[in-house]
A and B are shown apart, each in its own frame.
Chain A
Amino acid sequence: MKVEAKTCHEQTHRPLFTWTRMWAVLVLAGLLGGLSLSGSSSAGELMAPPRVHTPPGAADSADEPLGPFPGVVAPEGTYEGKNVEQPIEFPHDLHADTNKINCLYCHTYARRSAVAGIPPTSKCMGCHNVIATDRPRIKKLTEYWEKGESPPWKKVHDLPDYVRFTHERHLKKFLFDNPDMSVERVDEVCALCHGNVKKMTVARKQKPLTMGFCTRCHEANDGPFDCQKCHK
């Protein structure tokens, strides 16, 4: 038998020998597979499905994926992220949808750096010196600003430290090097991994951002497949 593990999502299951042997193979495979995942948890926990990993198509209606734009095959997989309590309940929908502010206006570092960056508080205050200054959330923001502090935002999208993901490279491929796209449609690119943030208030994790999610997209869109591209 030839077992090839070219990509992670490729699963090769074919009946191979006698049933007896197959039984032994599967039991051992299960055990060894479970054990190889982690040394600290019990096998029973590990064999349970991932916590809130829902199959494609089961996303709630508010988070409908944006239509696939030219030059990309959208990665499959959704995730039902929990609501994260932020110091200020920032309304993404009001900024990006109602007022049509481009994602890159605030997350300006995404095109230049590995991280998209939370906008500096001075950027918030640039507008909110004069706009909506009577609203409770803006009052709270102004309090932080006057104390000379930035709100301690909670991280919603995070990757383990052994993964190097760069926003810059992904925006270059899907947006700036894509002749069929314009910077006005950057929200569709963001949505590939962040879901439809335009329809959310506080950002919620909508995509699993697991290695499987990454590799499916890399395969579909001819992304690099060398281990050290991401695990530097």
Chain B
Amino acid sequence: MSKIEFDRRDFLKVMGVSGVAATVAGCDMPSYITSEEGAEEVIPYLSPEEFVIPGVGVHYASTCLQCPATCGIRGRVREGRVLKLEGNPKSALNTGKLCQMGQAGLQTHYNPDRLTKPLVRKDGALAEATWEDALALIEEKTGPSSGLSGGRFAWLTGTISGHQSVLLKAHLESLGSSSHFVHEVINTRVWQAVCQDMLGQSMPRLRIDKAKMVLSFGADFLGTWMSPIHFSADYARFRSGEDRGMLVQAEPSMSLTGANADLWVALRPGTEGVMALGLANVLINKERMDASALPAAALELINQYGVSRTTKMTGIAGDRLIRIARHLKERSPSLVLAGASAAGHVGGYQSVQAAMLLNILLGNIDQTIEASGDFALPQLASVSGGTSDLSRFADAAGAGKLDAVFFDGSNPLFAAPNHLGLTEKFDSIPFKVAFSQFMDETTAHADVVLPMASALEDWGTHVAAYQGGDHEIAFQQPLMEPIYPGTRSFGDMLLALNSMRNPGSYDGLEDYYGYLQSAVGSIPGVLKGEDDEAINVSAWNRILQDGRLQMPVDTRAFTSNLSMDDMDVRDADPAFPYYLVPTPRGTLYDGRHANIPWLQESPDQISKVVWNSWAEIHPVTAAKLAVEEGDVITVTTPDGVLEVPVYIHKGIHVDVVAVPMGQGHEDYGRYARGRGVNPLKILQPGSDAKTGELALYGSRAALAATGRAGRLIKMGNTETQHGRKIVATITAEQQRRNEGDS
């Protein structure tokens, strides 16, 4: 037999022929796994609605509850299952757009770790119980015969609004209590307080679309600040106009908004207000802007922050400061925003105040900051949360002032820094009831756990804290039947709790749906029935189809009260030379989405890391520590230590280490548990003097290499294009020369 000569060419021929052979055989090979006859059941509808066609989706409007912005959503429902969520085009807030957190609402709903049965603590451990037993226990401890009254009872919730808020207040009143702690880690409370004090309105409309320049002190309005989807649409108009808007972002660590900016400025944490005053100084003294609108005290303060002092405190070069000021003057109207990294310091209020002062100096009030007016029905308005309520709650619990606490929509034991000692204080409360969809850090410490329906299975009304053009009540309606029959609606529970305290108070109503219909019917002119009809059914159906009810806006002009306090910038502690910045991300948010695989696996906006925590440090810091990407370092504050791999990035201040929020759960289901670290835990004590908000961005840390090498799991392996010019770039210096910029 001759030797088989087999070269590369023949090999390719073989591959070709075998490919054809494989495909040909494959084409007629039935799939035994999925298409075997009789392997699956197909159960028809019993008696379907006329418009229901199997295989064809029907869209229902509802409201997204993945973050407090309450965007309108539309769910595609097929064969009784919700399959896809998109934005509701009729919602004035998000005009048909939806972020990744909203899209992932499906995985909250279909999550395999949902609670399905009530749990009651017996002999120290939570054990399954019936609803009757659980409610009987609640009646025993908090019912009329319990003797519980006054401030010894409290509710702890996340941001709440609409009729749930009305019923919750009614329940508190029935107990004679006014203790409602509203906890939200990512919040805008300081901004709201400044607006309220200086303009007389806490939530003015911010017209990014009308501005020619936006200067943002850490306001991540494209990612997590206030109402990101609404601002993203405004931002698109801001950028696409004839005169393309200019965005300057100054913050300690680059956010999504920072990554989109024309100029990103690394700012020493806590000096946002100093930079704002420094800019005001340049505008008045160098650019000769009219400062007659400012009171003498403010001018005096501004005069103290000349360029050299500002440069020294903030770390920003003087010529850069002057250039930004010049742009602000030329590009009028502009808009100055201040977000979490400006507000999260002991002097947070003053920093935000300085930013607002800059707006007043630049003449932005009534131009890009518009009066909005109060919501027409104040009892439905949003009760926005903050972190000051967390420390107030910890104080109340620690002082033994609480006998019973109900909590919903918030996970305080995960978010509370170690220095609050909340876990022990929480455990000392005699009776704790969790209304929850999941077993999380707080739920695990409760005495009674009541499994709640998901946001896509429940009724509700919501009023956004930040309203878009129109004021509206957003309607939440079930997109499908509850997956687990053992879960109950939060609204139904509120009705039951109220009936428990005041028997007979809601007797005429079958359930929360009935309550909502009658409550909305009582708003004058909304559901006015014709003739003797109690409510106008077609008007009600129209509201549900739109997912919203527009309310009249009574715009109220701004009042102005221009007081100004000096900055409170703390000096660095030589033992802890770095600032620890816990960064919020529009994926895991404050940690509530850590149990959603879609969001865990979506690469981080800056580092591209998935499923893990990382510490972002500047290359200079990395060189000092002699670490490379993926190496594990320790981040030490006086309140604790984290061990975390590093990500080296230039988009961060050299003295800052940034660890994203959201990971480090001890409980919270299979996808979240034991993954990454929680930077909130090791934050140092301190709070803004004016609002009491925790100084989340004011902690100091020491860094040390552990000597352990690791590897970050992330999308894309390289930060450079290796000279391939996939995206053409020029240096900033070259750009400045080309543009003839000063």
Q: Which residues of A contact B (CB under 8 A)?
A: 1, 3, 5, 8-12, 16, 20-21, 24-25, 28-34, 36-37, 50-51, 53, 77, 79, 81-82, 84-85, 109, 112-115, 117-122, 145, 148-161, 204-205, 208-213, 215
Contacts and interface: CB of A to CB of B under 8 A. Distances in A.
Interface in B12-29: 13-29
Given A155-B40, A158-B35, A212 B27 contact: yes
Nearest to A40: B33
A114 B15 CA distance: 37
A8 B44 contact: no
A160 to B, nearest CB: 4
12 contacts: A8-B26, A53-B28, A79-B30, A82-B37, A115-B54, A151-B43, A154-B42, A155-B38, A155-B39, A155-B40, A158-B34, A212-B24
A25 B37 contact: no
B42 A155 contact: yes
A28 B18 contact: yes
Contact of B23 (A8, A51, A84, A150): A8
Given A3-B17, A211-B28, A161 B34 contact: yes
Given A28-B14, A36-B18, A118-B42, A50 B54 contact: no
A159 B53 contact: no
Given A37-B25, A82-B37, A150 B18 contact: no
B41 A113 contact: no
Given A148-B46, A152-B43, A158-B36, 7 more contacts: A85-B38, A115-B55, A117-B53, A150-B45, A158-B40, A160-B33, A212-B24
Contact of A11 (B2, B10, B20): B20
Given A5-B23, A155-B40, A113 B53 contact: yes
A117 B54 contact: yes
A36 B22 contact: yes
> Which 9 pairs from chain A and chain B are nearest by CB?
A212-B27, A113-B55, A84-B38, A122-B47, A212-B28, A32-B18, A8-B27, A29-B18, A33-B22
A150 B46 contact: yes
Contact of B54 (A1, A81, A113, A151): A113
Contacts of B727: none
Contacts of A120: 44-48
B46 A122 contact: yes
Contacts of A113: 53-56
A3 B10 CA distance: 13
Contacts of A82: 37-38
Given A33-B18, A215-B27, A21 B4 contact: yes
Interface of B: 1-2, 4-6, 10, 13-48, 53-56
A36 B32 contact: no
A160 B32 CA distance: 9
Contacts of A122: 45-48
A34 B18 CA distance: 9
A133 B670 CA distance: 53
Looking at chain A's contact residues, is the secondary structure mostly helix, strand, loop, or mixed? Answer: loop
A84 B39 CA distance: 9
A30 B19 CA distance: 10
Contact of B27 (A21, A151, A160, A211): A211
Contacts of B27: 8-9, 210-212, 215
Contacts of A148: 46
A8 B17 CA distance: 13
Nearest to B40: A155
Given A33-B25, A212-B28, A158 B44 contact: no
Contacts of B54: 109, 113, 115, 117
Contacts of B35: 158-160, 209
Contacts of A153: 41-44
A37 B46 contact: no
B38 A118 contact: no
Nearest to B23: A8
Contacts of B23: 5, 8
B247 to A, nearest CB: 38
Contacts of B21: 29-30, 33
Given A20-B2, A113-B55, A50 B28 contact: yes
A155 B46 contact: no
Contact of A5 (B19, B32, B47, B55): B19
Contacts of A31: 18
A155 B40 CA distance: 5
Given A112-B53, A114-B55, A160-B35, A12 B20 contact: yes
B41 A152 contact: yes
A183 B496 CA distance: 56
A6 to B, nearest CB: 10
Given A109-B54, A158-B39, A121 B14 contact: no
A217 B22 CA distance: 20
Contact of A210 (B10, B19, B30): B30
Nearest to B54: A117
A20 B1 contact: yes
Contacts of A209: 30, 35
B46 A208 contact: no
Contact of B37 (A33, A121, A151, A205): A205
A109 B38 contact: no
B4 A156 contact: no
B244 to A, nearest CB: 37
Contact of B4 (A24, A50, A118, A154): A24
B46 A149 contact: yes
Nearest to A160: B34
A187 B566 CA distance: 85
A9 B28 CA distance: 9
Nearest to B6: A24
A170 to B, nearest CB: 13
Nearest to B11: A28
A18 to B, nearest CB: 9
B287 to A, nearest CB: 58
Contact of B29 (A5, A50, A85, A204): A50
A1 B31 contact: no
A113 to B, nearest CB: 4
Given A29-B14, A29-B18, A213-B28, A119 B38 contact: no
Contacts of B29: 37, 50, 210
Contacts of B17: 3, 12, 25, 29
A150 B28 contact: no
A58 to B, nearest CB: 15
A118 B44 contact: yes
B47 A11 contact: no
A153 B14 CA distance: 47
A211 B28 CA distance: 6
Nearest to B48: A120
B407 to A, nearest CB: 38
A3 B31 contact: no
A215 B23 CA distance: 12
Given A8-B24, A114-B55, A160 B31 contact: yes
A23 B296 CA distance: 98
B53 A109 contact: yes
A124 to B, nearest CB: 9
A232 to B, nearest CB: 14
Nearest to B19: A5
B32 to A, nearest CB: 7
A26 B27 CA distance: 20
Looking at B2, B13, B44, the one whose CB has the most chain A CB atoms below 10 A away is B44
